[in-house]
Every structure is written in structure tokens, then in C-alpha cells.
């Protein structure tokens, strides 16, 4: 049996696939090694909900047969991955991170899992999440069936919500990539906190069929990976039309790096000066300024912009309240909501049923102003650069609304981009207080190829995405 070296757990998708094709190890050997690792180390970060070893090993055996016959299905063939536990896996518990749903089982796979299965990817685990993806506004990192998501860089810090398990699992080398979900920051935040590259696709590009709904008009699924290229390889397979998702955009995604970018001197990237001067937390400012200089060195044009002053966070909160209140109405009225871990979240979910329809409709009307504002910004630039989060991960023991170091940036890119349904990619760009921080590129709808291309160039000039946390074997 081939020995799986520790470096393999942090290899890129392309590197793993090349080694499988070269028969350096079998898919079964690789899958067993990842299963052993996630079962042993995953609980250390409260990242593992359910090991899927048995079905993973069966799938790996099939992949080995295919590779023996030189039947290839693409770069994800034989690659072990995990999914946030809001995605249905046939005949397996899907807990939505919440005690009342601990024994919930579906008789089908989520559409995104079906697509990954067809190209030979190996699903080895379901990964932890904040209960109900944070619906109701949780206050503690411990708002989860599995406990607080712990950051592999420092277990006294949060791995981020609500995709806490995917963030920790990829960072610690427990899976090669993971599928997370975002309603307002749940891919970008844990990616930034854990030193990953995370891609939030355009609204509707990836089917949500088989995923827990929190907000029909905001929910998105996307990859959390080691690099921009890995995100592209995963998105290439998971994007596409699905008649079972009413929000499907009817678009696919083809990763075409050779045809994507114009000359760099013709690309304009907008930014808000305060973000890269003294707008972020003091410990992170140097990393953000250095990242800005790297982007500038690529030869692109940089243009100062201003994000209009709109109540981005309040709009997201009202829209989620209106839609999640409808989705979880029976759950709330039944009293099962009281079994959740976070009292603040319980109260928040109950309050959703009292939201006047006029407030929801008013928020949707103001949302149209947000979309128009971003449309106008993109008349003068191709994408927007900003810090993903203004500082490093929170301390697990502190309430999430504990005031942090003072900042001057309004930090509206995450809620604003989600309201407008825009794609974004988060790129590790350094450290603050010994913890990862990241920048994001935000683009027009269906601008993923261009965001990935600039992300690739940034990652050729830096090595932050290759840094590993001090994970003991």
C-alpha cells in the first residue's frame, strides 16, 4: 500500500488528480487516508458531523476501475471533498446544524452532489454549520449542534459562520475542497478567517435544489478551496441549469483562463481608499496595504470609488426575516425552535413572524436601489477590491457582537454584494495577530472567470494561499 505523505493533504486539486492518473497511489488509498484524517482530527475543530467512509470507499473503488481503463472524467475525479450539512445526502442524516433536525433524512442527493458524483469526486464527510445557517441572528459561535467552529490557526478563535465546518476542514487538510453556502457572508467569512480561497457565485448560477432554504432570494452555494484555480475547477462542474431550482439563472460556467482576460492595462479595478489606509482593524492594515500593492503591480488600472450610503445590513436582515419566517413558520409555531442552542437566535426566529409585510416590501424596493448603485459603479470599473473582513477571526469565548478594534470602513461589500446577487472571490493576503486575513474581488453578474483570472495572478505573486496552520497529525 502506497504511503500518503502529509503534503498530500494540502495539495491542489490538479496535483492530486495528476498523482492519481500517474498511479502514485490509488483512489482507495487516498480516500482512506483522508477519511482516517478527518475522523481523527475533525472533532478537534468541531468540523465533522458525519463520516461517509463506507460510501466513499465504494466510490473510490469505482474510480480506480475507471483509471485502470484510462477512463477520465476531469480534474475532480477521485478528489475527496466535504459538504456543509445543509445539503441532502441520500439516506444520511442532514441536521442543518440544529438539534431539532438531528435525525432528519432525505431520500435523494442534492443537485450539486449529483453533479460532483458524475465527475467522480469522492464525498467523504458532512461538515458542521451554525444552526439553520444563522437564521434568526445568532450571538455566539456555539450556536451549532456540534459546538463552536474552532479555527485551525488558533483554536481559541472562530472558524467563521455559518460554513464553520467547511472553513476548518479545508484549512486543516481534512478535505481537498468543500461546498459551503452564503446568504450574507457565509462563504467569504470562514474563507477569510481560515486562510482559504472562497468563491461566492452569481445568484442562480449553482442549483440549490436539496439545500436548506434560509432566504430564497439571497441563498447561494459555492466552493471553498485552497486556490483560485481550485475554485474554478469546482465551479466548472457544479454550475448549470436546474429546473428543480426556481432561482436557477439558466447559465453554465466554463473555466477558460486562456480566453478570459483582456490586456491587464485595460482592466479597471475600483476601490475605496479608506479600506487600504486606516479603515480596517489596526493589526490588519499592513497586510491590506501590501495586498493592494500586489494588485497594483499586476498592471491594472486602479480607480477610487465610493459605495453609496445605504442600509445594507438592515436590508439583508429584513429580507432574511421575511423569507426565513415563512420558511420556518411551522417549526417556530410548533415550539421546536426552543431546542436551538442560542437563546438570542430563538428570540430572533420568533420575532420573524411579527414582521409586517410592508417592511419586507419596503426592503425589497430599497434593494433595487442597491442593485442600481452597483450597476452604476460597474460602468466605470470591471471589478471592486476590498478587504473581505476588516480584521482576523473573533475569539470563540466572546459574544459575536462584542465590539472589536475601531474601524473607519463601512464594510458594505458583503451585504451589498449579496443583495445585488454579485459574484466575489476571497483571497488570503497575509496575517494579523497571527491569524489569516483576506481581500475580495467583487464583479458583475457572471463575471467569475475574470475574478478567478485576477485571483490566479495575485496568487502567482504571493504564497499566502499555500500557508498551513499548525495542525498536528
**Residue 303 designated active-site:** no
- Find out whether the peptide bond into 162 is cis, omega within 30 degrees of 0: yes
Catalytic residue among 162, 184, 227, 409: 162
Catalytic residue among 32, 59, 84, 220: 84
Structural contact between residues 168 and 150, judged by C-beta atoms closer than 8 angstroms? yes
Rounded distance between C-alpha atoms, residue 42 and residue 468, angstroms? 16
- Give the residue carrying C-alpha cell 437563546: 343
Q: Which residue from 181, 205, 192, 199 is spatially nearest to 94, judged by alpha carbons?
A: 181
Beta strands in 208-298 (DSSP E): 220-225, 268-271
3-state helix, strand, coil in the chain (%, to 5): 40, 15, 40
Rounded distance between C-alpha atoms, residue 38 and residue 171, angstroms? 12
Q: Which residues pair with 302 in a beta bridge?
A: 269
Q: What cell does 358 get?
A: 410592508
74: left (phi over 0), alpha (psi -120 to 50) or beta: left
Catalytic residue among 163, 181, 186, 215: 186
**Residue 162 designated active-site:** yes
Mapping DSSP to helix (H, G, I), strand (E, B) and coil, where does residue 54 land?
helix
| CA distances for 62 relative to 57, 87, 183, angstroms | 9, 23, 36
Q: What cell does 162 get?
A: 455559518
Rounded distance between C-alpha atoms, residue 129 and residue 327, angstroms? 18
**Residue 84 designated active-site:** yes
Q: Which residue from 41, 121, 44 is spatially nearest to 75, judged by alpha carbons?
A: 121
Dihedral Cα 300, 198, 141, 350, nearest 10 deg: 100
Rounded distance between C-alpha atoms, residue 363 and residue 153, angstroms? 38
Structural contact between residues 295 and 316, judged by C-beta atoms closer than 8 angstroms? no
- How many C-beta atoms surround the C-beta of residue 470 within 10 A? 8
Which DSSP category does 286 fall into?
H
Q: Which residues are catalytic?
A: 84, 162, 186
Amino acid at each position: 500500500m502506497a504511503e500518503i505523505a502529509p503534503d498530500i493533504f494540502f495539495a491542489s486539486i490538479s496535483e492530486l488528480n495528476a498523482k492519481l492518473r500517474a498511479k502514485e497511489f490509488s483512489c482507495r488509498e487516498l480516500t482512506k487516508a483522508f477519511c482516517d484524517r478527518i475522523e481523527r482530527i475533525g472533532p478537534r475543530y468541531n468540523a465533522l458531523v458525519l463520516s461517509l467512509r463506507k460510501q466513499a470507499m465504494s466510490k473510490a473503488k469505482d474510480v480506480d476501475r475507471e483509471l485502470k481503463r484510462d477512463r477520465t472524467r476531469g480534474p475532480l475525479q477521485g478528489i475527496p471533498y466535504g459538504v456543509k450539512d445543509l445539503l441532502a445526502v441520500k439516506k444520511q442524516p442532514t441536521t442543518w446544524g440544529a438539534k431539532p433536525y438531528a435525525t432528519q433524512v432525505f431520500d435523494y442527493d442534492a443537485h450539486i452532489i449529483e453533479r460532483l458524483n458524475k465527475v467522480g469526486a469522492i464525498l467523504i464527510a458532512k461538515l458542521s454549520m451554525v444552526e439553520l445557517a444563522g437564521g434568526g441572528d445568532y450571538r455566539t459561535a456555539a450556536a451549532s449542534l456540534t459546538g463552536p467552529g474552532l479555527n485551525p490557526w488558533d483554536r481559541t478563535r472562530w472558524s467563521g459562520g455559518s460554513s464553520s465546518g467547511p472553513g476548518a476542514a479545508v484549512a486543516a487538510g481534512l478535505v481537498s475542497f468543500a461546498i459551503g453556502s452564503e446568504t450574507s457572508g457565509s462563504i467569504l467569512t470562514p474563507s477569510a478567517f481560515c486562510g482559504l480561497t472562497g468563491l461566492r457565485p452569481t445568484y442562480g448560477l449553482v442549483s440549490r435544489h436539496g439545500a436548506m432554504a434560509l432566504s430564497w432570494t439571497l441563498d447561494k452555494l459555492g466552493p471553498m478551496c485552497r486556490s483560485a484555480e481550485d475554485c474554478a475547477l469546482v465551479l466548472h462542474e457544479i454550475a448549470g441549469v436546474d429546473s428543480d431550482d426556481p432561482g436557477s439563472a439558466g447559465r453554465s460556467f466554463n473555466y477558460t483562463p486562456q480566453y478570459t482576460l483582456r490586456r491587464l492595462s485595460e482592466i479597471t479595478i475600483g476601490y475605496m481608499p479608506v479600506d487600504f489606509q486606516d479603515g480596517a482593524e489596526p493589526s490588519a492594515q499592513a497586510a491590506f496595504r501590501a495586498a493592494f500593492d500586489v494588485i497594483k503591480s499586476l498592471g491594472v488600472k486602479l480607480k477610487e470609488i465610493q459605495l453609496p450610503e445605504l442600509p445594507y445590513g438592515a436590508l439583508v436582515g429584513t429580507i432574511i426575516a421575511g423569507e426565513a419566517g415563512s420558511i420556518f413558520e411551522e417549526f417556530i409555531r410548533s415550539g421546536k425552535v426552543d431546542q436551538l442552542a442560542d437563546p438570542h437566535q430563538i428570540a430572533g426566529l420568533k420575532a420573524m413572524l411579527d414582521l409586517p409585510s410592508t417592511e419586507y416590501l419596503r426592503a425589497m424596493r430599497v434593494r433595487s436601489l442597491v442593485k442600481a448603485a452597483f450597476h452604476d459603479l460597474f460602468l466605470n470599473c470591471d471589478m471592486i477590491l476590498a478587504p473581505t473582513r476588516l480584521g482576523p477571526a473573533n475569539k470563540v469565548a466572546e459574544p459575536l457582537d462584542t465590539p472589536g478594534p475601531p474601524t473607519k470602513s463601512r464594510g458594505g461589500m458583503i451585504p451589498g454584494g449579496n443583495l445585488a446577487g454579485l459574484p466575489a472571490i476571497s483571497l488570503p493576503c497575509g496575517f494579523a495577530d497571527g491569524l489569516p486575513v483576506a481581500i475580495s474581488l467583487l464583479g458583475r453578474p457572471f463575471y467569475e472567470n475574470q475574478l478567478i483570472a485576477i485571483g490566479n495572478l495575485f496568487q502567482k505573486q504571493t504564497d499566502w494561499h499555500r500557508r498551513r496552520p499548525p495542525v498536528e497529525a
